[in-house]
Amino acid sequence: MEAVAKLNNYPTSPRKMRLLADLIRGMKVDKALAVLDHNPKHPAVPLRKLVLSAISNWKAKNEGEDETELLVKTIFVDGARVIKRMRPAPQGRGYRVRKRSNHVTVIVDTEANKKAAKKVAPAETVAAEEVVAKKPAAKKTAAPKKKAATKNDNN
CA 28-21-112 angle, 5° bins: 30
Domains of the chain: 3-125 (3.90.470.10)
Contact 112, 69 (CB under 8 A): yes
Residues in the chain: 155
Shortest CA distance to 6 belongs to which of 108, 117, 109, 111? 108
Q: Is the pLDDT of residue 11 over 90?
A: yes
Shortest CA distance to 73 belongs to which of 32, 107, 30, 119? 107
Place 104 in a pLDDT band, splitting at 50, 70 and 90. Answer: very high
**Residue 1, pLDDT score:** 85
The one-letter code for the residue type at 110 is T
**80 vs 7: CA distance, rounded Å:** 11
**Residue 20, pLDDT score:** 94
- pTM equals 0.71
DSSP 88-147: E-GGG-EEEEEEEEEEEEEEEEEHHHHHHHHHHHHHHHHHHHHHHHTSPPPP--PPPPPP
Question: Long-range pairs for 120-126 at CB < 8 Å and ≥24 separation?
Answer: none
Shortest CA distance to 82 belongs to which of 7, 9, 8, 20? 9
The one-letter code for the residue type at 145 is K
Worst-scoring range by mean pLDDT, 15-24, 63-72, 84-93, 114-123?
114-123
